[in-house]
């Protein structure tokens, strides 16, 4: 029954993504990005390790769209960092599961959480300054903040830490802002990326709610 539910969910999301991509005149790239992105975050909130398979697909196409839109920070890190991190996450999540095959999460201390917040702010500024060296770079500080928060969020979730959802929430807000700006300027594939960001934000909020009182291990 659980397998059937997973298959049905996957089919519904793919069909929905294809229909929306057709309406946006961005069928192939749009449907792949939207479906893989939604499936990634949805199965992630459900504690399913195979969410990382969809994450890898999303990162490859996200890298391409980011490149043609002058978001070189996202482009580079999607290929050289996010892909390896997703593979690591897949392995990590498969090591700690309960009897229902759901990943067991952990919780960070408030002290470590404050360190992560401070570190992400400092690194975002530094990375933004570095990206600004490239004259073709656009929205360098939004680009840098999105990437740094995404890295922290992925690392935390790879280690099954609940705080990763909070970090990714801020990352999703910044991502949405980036693609709204690009959509206003009629940048390539910006509409579908904006839709992906909206779904990520909504499902991420659901993930925070769902995992707030989830069973954890020390």
36-67 pLDDT, tens per residue? 888 888 888 877 888 889 989 988 988 888 88
- Output the pLDDT for position 107: 66
DSSP 77-144: HIIIIIHHHHHHHHHHHTTSB-TTSPBPBB---HHHHHHHHHHHHHHHHHHHHHHTTSTT--SHHHHH
Residues 88-117 have pLDDT tens digits of: 888 878 776 666 666 666 666 666 777 877
The Cα–Cα gap between 138 and 132 comes to 8
pLDDT digits (tens, 9 = 90+) for 193-209: 888 888 888 888 887 87
What sign has the CA pseudo-torsion 51, 53, 55, 61?
negative
What pLDDT, on a 0 to 100 scale, did the predictor assign at position 1?
A: 44
Q: Which of 9, 13, 89, 78 is nearest to 49 (CA)?
A: 89
215 DSSP assignment? -
125 vs 25 pLDDT, higher one: 125
pLDDT of residue 177: 92
Mean pLDDT of 139-167: 84
- Full-model pTM: 0.75
Retrieve residue 125's tokens: 């500024």
pLDDT in tens, 28-37: 887 888 888 8
* For residue 211, pLDDT beyond 80: no
Total H helices, total E strands in the chain:
9, 0
74/91 Cα distance (integer angstroms): 24
Phi and psi, residue 97, nearest 5°: -135, 155
């Amino acid at each position: 029954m659980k397998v059937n539910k997973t298959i049905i969910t996957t089919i519904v999301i793919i069909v929905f993504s294809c229909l929306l991509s057709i309406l946006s005149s961005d069928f192939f790239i749009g449907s792949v990005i939207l479906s893989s992105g939604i499936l990634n975050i949805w199965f992630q909130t459900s504690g399913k390790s195979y969410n990382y398979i969809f994450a890898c697909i999303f990162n490859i196409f996200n890298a391409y769209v980011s490149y043609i839109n002058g978001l070189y920070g996202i482009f580079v890190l999607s290929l050289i960092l996010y892909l390896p991190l997703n593979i690591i996450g897949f392995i990590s999540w498969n090591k700690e599961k309960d009897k229902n095959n759901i990943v067991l999460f952990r919780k960070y201390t408030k002290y470590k959480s404050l360190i992560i917040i401070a570190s992400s702010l400092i690194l975002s500024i530094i990375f933004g300054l570095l990206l600004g060296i490239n004259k073709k770079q656009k929205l360098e500080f939004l680009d840098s903040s999105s990437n740094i928060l995404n890295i922290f969020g992925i690392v935390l979730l790879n280690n099954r830490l609940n705080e990763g959802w909070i970090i990714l929430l801020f990352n999703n807000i910044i991502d949405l802002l980036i693609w709204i700006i690009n959509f206003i300027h009629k940048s390539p594939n910006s509409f579908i990326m904006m839709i992906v960001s909206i779904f990520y934000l909504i499902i991420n909020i659901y993930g925070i709610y769902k995992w707030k009182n989830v069973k954890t291990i020390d």
